């Protein structure tokens, strides 16, 4: 699936934008503050109904307006069309797929797998484990749609158990939740581990090609190695009762990536960290394509930042090779050269207006 039409209304400085993106590469250029990142933000919004820049939707809605709207037409390899619509205000989220109202945001995400590479990309390594869990879960969700259900059940039970811990209920009442918690934890952990088994070899290849080195990647399940989750819950019971929450489980999982036994966030340069996260995103896109045939949408904001010309060139070739539909921003019309064989469209952004440049 790829986007063939994109209409954006009242997203930041984009009042009313209509474009027809190309299947492969869409090169979006314009001066600072013209609205390039906002175009990418609109596509991202359509996939997950939230922004990658802020948790406050009112900051994304054009000043003095009450809601934003993004509409897109998707086309698959058999030329079948799907339409997606999102309307968001501070109070409500309205989703429409093929002109029918849909409640779950996950229905949008399933149709529109979107990845982003921007100047903040290295933060995936530097920030807390939550972001690395989200990274793994993006991959698992797109290849195994019922993963979301296990995840939602797990969090519901976890909340109940934590409430019992906080209320200082007796041990029996608290452990009443254990069976369900353990059952869902097992599904989540197994799905994540299976996913990573397939993901890691693809990731290693990208790291080798992009960086000429190899790293070790290890999944931390969220409780002590060598113990079952059941035993660990028993072992941490006293501590958890004191603290009023469940301190172990898949909600505490993490992904450790190390180079010569040192976590990469503690030894890699900023540029190396960026390349490594690019390798992670590329590997997810490739894995999804291999596993399900689904094409991702890749938003690349300001690629030039902190990458030298050799690495930039290398990365562009790999981005193109994934067959994802690319949306790449730059400040200049000729900031970088795209491989000659790829079909590309160019768009110029000026004061919130986006126009296709006929080449
Ligand atoms: N809620 C809003 N309503 C209207 N305009 C906004 C809103 N939020 C941000 N803006 C403005 O939108 C403009 C476009 O921002 P955007 O981040 O898309 O620019 P850009 O082209 O990516 O710039 P750069 O090259 O500096 O990254 C900016 O002038 C910004 O101040
Ligand atoms: Mg920008």
8-state DSSP, 1: -
> Distance, CA 34 to ligand 1 centroid (Å)?
6
**Atom 13 of ligand 1: nearest residue by CA position:** 33
- Residue 34 Cβ contacting ligand 1 at under 6 Å: yes
Look-up: residue for tokens 């992009």? 210
Q: pLDDT-based confidence at 2, cuts 50/70/90? A: very high
CB atoms within 10 A of CB 350: 11
Please report the atom of ligand 1 found closest to the CA of residue 53.
Answer: 17
pTM to 2 decimal places = 0.95
Average pLDDT over residues 275-290: 97
Average pLDDT over residues 296-317: 87
Look-up: residue for tokens 């172990």? 248
* pLDDT of 337 higher than 80: no
* pLDDT of 32 higher than 80: yes
* pLDDT of 302 higher than 90: no
Cα-based distances in Å from 168 to 161, 178, 233, 243 = 11, 16, 16, 10
> Distance, CA 12 to ligand 1 centroid (Å)?
6
Q: Which two tokens stand for residue 236?
A: 């941490």
- Residue 62 Cβ contacting ligand 1 at under 6 Å: yes
Rounded Cα distance, 272 and 51, in Å: 26
Residue 98's pLDDT is: 97
Query: What's the CA angle centered on 124, arms 60 and 44, to 5 degrees?
Result: 30
Average pLDDT over residues 20-36: 96
**Atom 16 of ligand 1: nearest residue by CA position:** 35
**CATH 3.40.50.300 residue window(s) in the chain:** 1-113+294-359
**CATH 1.20.1050.90 residue window(s) in the chain:** 120-292
* pLDDT of 336 higher than 80: no
Per-residue exposure over 185-201, b if at least 16 CB sit within 10 Å of its own CB, e if not = bbbbbebbeebbeebbe
Rounded Cα distance, 44 and 319, in Å: 18
- Residue 139 Cβ contacting ligand 1 at under 6 Å: no
> pLDDT of 174-209, one tens digit each?
999 999 999 999 999 999 999 999 999 999 999 999
* pLDDT of 238 higher than 80: yes
User: What percent of the chain clears pLDDT 70, i.e. is strictly above it?
Assistant: 100
- Residue closest to 25 by CA, chosen among 269, 305, 319, 311: 319
Residue 307's pLDDT is: 82
Rounded Cα distance, 86 and 34, in Å: 23
Q: pLDDT-based confidence at 341, cuts 50/70/90? A: confident
Average pLDDT over residues 46-64: 95
> Distance, CA 38 to ligand 2 centroid (Å)?
7
- Which ranges of 49-177 does DSSP label H, i.e. alpha helix? 57-60, 105-111, 123-126, 129-143, 147-166, 171-175
Least confident residue range of 40-54, 314-328, 335-349: 335-349
The mean pLDDT of the chain is 95
Look-up: residue for tokens 């469209």? 345
Q: What share of the chain is helix, strand, coil (3-state, %, to 5)?
A: 45, 25, 30
* pLDDT of 162 higher than 90: yes
Residue 45's pLDDT is: 97
Residue 342's pLDDT is: 84
CB atoms within 10 A of CB 217: 17
- Residue closest to 25 by CA, chosen among 348, 345, 359: 345
Q: pLDDT-based confidence at 105, cuts 50/70/90? A: very high
| CATH label, 1-113+294-359, candidates 3.40.50.300, 3.90.470.10, 1.10.10.10, 3.40.50.620 | 3.40.50.300
| CATH label, 120-292, candidates 1.20.1250.30, 3.40.640.10, 2.40.160.20, 1.20.1050.90 | 1.20.1050.90
* DSSP string over 22-77: -SSEEEEEESTTSSHHHHHHHHHHHHHSS-SS-S-HHHHBPTT-SEEEEEEEEE-T
Residue 334's pLDDT is: 83
Residue 330's pLDDT is: 92
* pLDDT of 138 higher than 90: yes
3-state secondary structure of 86: strand
User: What percent of the chain clears pLDDT 90, i.e. is strictly above it?
Assistant: 88
Residue 359's pLDDT is: 78
> Distance, CA 305 to ligand 1 centroid (Å)?
18
199/1: higher pLDDT: 199
């Amino acid at each position: 699936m790829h986007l063939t039409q994109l209409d954006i209304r009242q997203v930041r400085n984009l009042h009313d934008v209509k474009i027809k993106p190309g299947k492969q590469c869409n090169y979006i250029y314009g001066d600072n503050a013209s609205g390039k990142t906002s175009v990418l933000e609109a596509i991202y919004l359509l996939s997950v109904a939230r922004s990658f820049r802020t948790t406050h939707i009112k900051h994304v809605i054009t000043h003095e307006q009450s809601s934003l709207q993004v509409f897109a037409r998707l086309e698959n390899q058999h030329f079948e069309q799907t339409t997606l619509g999102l309307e968001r205000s501070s109070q409500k989220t309205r989703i429409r797929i093929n002109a029918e109202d849909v409640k779950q945001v996950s229905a949008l995400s399933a149709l529109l797998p979107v990845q982003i590479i921007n100047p903040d990309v290295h933060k995936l390594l530097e920030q807390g484990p939550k972001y690395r869990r989200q990274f793994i879960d993006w991959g698992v969700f797109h290849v195994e749609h019922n993963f979301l259900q296990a995840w939602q059940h797990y969090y519901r039970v976890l909340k109940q158990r934590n409430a019992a811990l906080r209320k200082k209920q007796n041990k029996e009442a608290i452990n009443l939740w254990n069976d369900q918690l353990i059952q869902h934890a097992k599904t989540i952990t197994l799905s994540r581990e299976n996913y990573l088994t397939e993901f890691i070899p693809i990731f290693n290849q990208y790291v080798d090609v992009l960086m000429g080195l190899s790293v070790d990647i290890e999944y931390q399940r969220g409780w002590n190695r060598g113990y079952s989750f059941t035993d660990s819950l028993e072992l941490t019971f006293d501590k958890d009762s004191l603290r009023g929450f469940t301190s172990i489980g898949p909600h505490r999982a993490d992904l450790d990536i190390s180079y010569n036994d040192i976590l990469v966030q503690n030894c890699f340069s900023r540029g190396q960290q960026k390349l490594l996260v690019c390798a992670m995103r590329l590997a997810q896109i490739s894995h999804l394509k291999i596993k399900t045939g689904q094409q991702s949408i890749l938003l690349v904001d300001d690629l030039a930042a902190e990458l030298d010309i050799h690495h930039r060139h290398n990365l562009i070739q790999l981005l193109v090779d994934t067959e994802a539909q690319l949306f790449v921003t730059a400040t200049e019309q000729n900031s970088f050269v795209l491989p000659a064989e790829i079909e590309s469209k160019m768009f110029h952004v000026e004061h919130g207006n986006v126009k296709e440049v006929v080449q």
